[in-house]
């Protein structure tokens, strides 16, 4: 247990250096959400999207969560590559803390997401977004929790399967409906009753709603708290599962 922190730092450092040296892929990771912002955002400007907030305060949080869902859900892909190259076993033969092998990667993932989110918000501001700084920071915290949760699940899945062919279909078939049902592009309050009800079973919806309320400065109406609680609960469950898999798996 005593080595978890140092080992997490070592693992994080390795992956941060690796990610930082491929700046192009960092950019491409954020390209799709940026395109949404710039090419789709202006279409919404004059529409009335629901109570409180203008279209940018609705769209930017949605795109932020979308970026989080996609980048975190596919995080496990890198482990598949590393398993193929023998890197995972090579590290598991050293005395390194098993938990650090997961946490170190999560540290890199959250930093990467933070950098991309920051760019996204800044571009949003240039496009017309106005939001309180505290709200934006709360938003980063919420998506950070969500990212930790999803990336843990993704890594755990990748440790258990043997090929991208087993991994990709599971992730995409879960991810796409999740994106649609959490009201990422348009708020679910616009949906007909049955769709709205269905979406209440998708936990990400609460995070999207919470980030939107944070961006309009409505911290106290309960939805920020609910979103935070859902994200935290997801993170606890997923990290628990991820830890179990990393401790036990004989990948």
Partner 1 sequence: MPAAIHTAGLTRTFRTKNRTVEAVRGIDLTVEQGEILGFLGPNGAGKTTTLRMLTTLLPPTSGTATVAGHDLIADPKGVRERIGYVAQSGGVDPTVSVREELTTQGRLYRLSRSEAARRTEELAGELGLTALLDRPCGALSGGQRRRLDIAMALTHSPALLFLDEPTTGLDPGSRADLWQLIRRLRDHRGMTVFLTTHYLDEADALADRLVIVDDGRVAAQGTSAELKRTYAGAADAGLQDAFIAITGRRTQREEEETPVAV
Task: Give min distance, CB of 17 to partner 1, in A.
Answer: 7
Return the closest-CA partner of residue 88 out of 251, 243, 239: 251
Q: Considering only residues 11-40, where is the footprint of partner 1 by CB under 8 A?
A: 14, 17-18, 22
Task: Give min distance, CB of 112 to partner 1, in A.
Answer: 16
**CB of 29 closer than 8 Å to CB of 112:** yes
**CB of 108 closer than 8 Å to CB of 116:** no
Q: Please identify which residue in 4, 49, 91, 225 interacts with partner 1, judged by CB under 8 A.
A: 91
Q: Is 218 in the site for partner 1 (CB under 8 A)?
A: no
Contacts of 77 (CB under 8 A, 6+ apart): 154, 158, 164, 167, 168
As given in the structure block, the two tokens for residue 40 are 């789709």
Task: Give min distance, CB of 104 to partner 1, in A.
Answer: 11
CA–CA distance, 117 with 218 (Å, rounded to integer): 21
Q: Is 162 in the site for partner 1 (CB under 8 A)?
A: yes
Q: Please identify which residue in 34, 92, 128, 225 interacts with partner 1, judged by CB under 8 A.
A: 92
Q: Is 4 in the site for partner 1 (CB under 8 A)?
A: no
Task: Give min distance, CB of 195 to partner 1, in A.
Answer: 37
CA–CA distance, 68 with 182 (Å, rounded to integer): 13
Task: Give min distance, CB of 100 to partner 1, in A.
Answer: 9
Residue placing its CB nearer to partner 1 in the complex, 81 or 236: 81
**CB of 121 closer than 8 Å to CB of 113:** no
Burial of 191 per CB tally in 10 Å (0-12, 13-18, 19+) = middle
Residue placing its CB nearer to partner 1 in the complex, 10 or 191: 10
Task: Give min distance, CB of 86 to partner 1, in A.
Answer: 4
Residue placing its CB nearer to partner 1 in the complex, 95 or 192: 95
Return the closest-CA partner of residue 205 out of 184, 189, 191, 225: 184
Q: Is 94 in the site for partner 1 (CB under 8 A)?
A: yes
- x/- mask, partner 1, residues 104-143, rule CB under 8 A, reads ----------------------------------------
**CB of 92 closer than 8 Å to CB of 2:** no
Q: Please identify which residue in 27, 47, 90, 137 interacts with partner 1, judged by CB under 8 A.
A: 90
- CA-to-CA dists, residue 195 to 58, 69, 180, angstroms: 19, 20, 10
Contacts of 48 (CB under 8 A, 6+ apart): none
- Of the candidate spans 79-87, 116-124, 168-176, 238-246, the one that interacts with partner 1 by CB under 8 A turns out to be 79-87
Q: Is 165 in the site for partner 1 (CB under 8 A)?
A: no
User: For binding to partner 1 (CB under 8 A), which residues are involved?
Assistant: 3, 7, 10, 14, 17-18, 22, 82, 85-87, 89-96, 162, 250
């Amino acid at each position: 247990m005593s080595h978890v922190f140092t080992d997490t730092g070592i693992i994080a450092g390795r992956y941060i250096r690796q990610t930082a040296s491929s700046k192009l892929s960092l950019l491409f990771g954020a390209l799709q959400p940026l395109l949404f912002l710039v090419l789709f955002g202006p279409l919404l400007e004059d529409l009335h999207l629901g109570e409180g907030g203008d279209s940018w305060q609705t769209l930017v949080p949605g795109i932020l969560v979308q970026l989080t869902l996609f980048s975190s859900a596919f995080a496990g892909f890198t482990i598949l590559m590393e398993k193929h190259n023998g890197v995972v076993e090579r590290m598991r033969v050293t005395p390194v803390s098993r938990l650090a092998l997961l946490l170190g990667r999560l540290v890199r993932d959250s930093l990467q997401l933070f950098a991309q989110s920051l760019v996204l918000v800044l571009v949003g501001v240039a496009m017309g977004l106005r939001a309180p700084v505290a709200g934006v920071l709360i938003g980063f915290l919420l998506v950070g929790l969500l990212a930790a949760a999803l990336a843990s699940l993704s890594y755990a899945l990748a440790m258990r399967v043997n090929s991208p062919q087993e991994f990709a279909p599971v992730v995409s078939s879960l991810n796409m409906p999740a994106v649609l049902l959490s009201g990422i592009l348009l708020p679910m309050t616009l949906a007909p009753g049955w769709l709205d009800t269905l979406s209440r079973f998708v936990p990400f919806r609460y995070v999207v709603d919470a980030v939107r309320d944070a961006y309009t400065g409505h911290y106290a109406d309960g939805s920020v708290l609910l979103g935070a609680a859902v994200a935290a609960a997801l993170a606890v469950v997923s990290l628990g599962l991820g830890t179990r898999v990393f401790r036990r798996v004989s990948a």
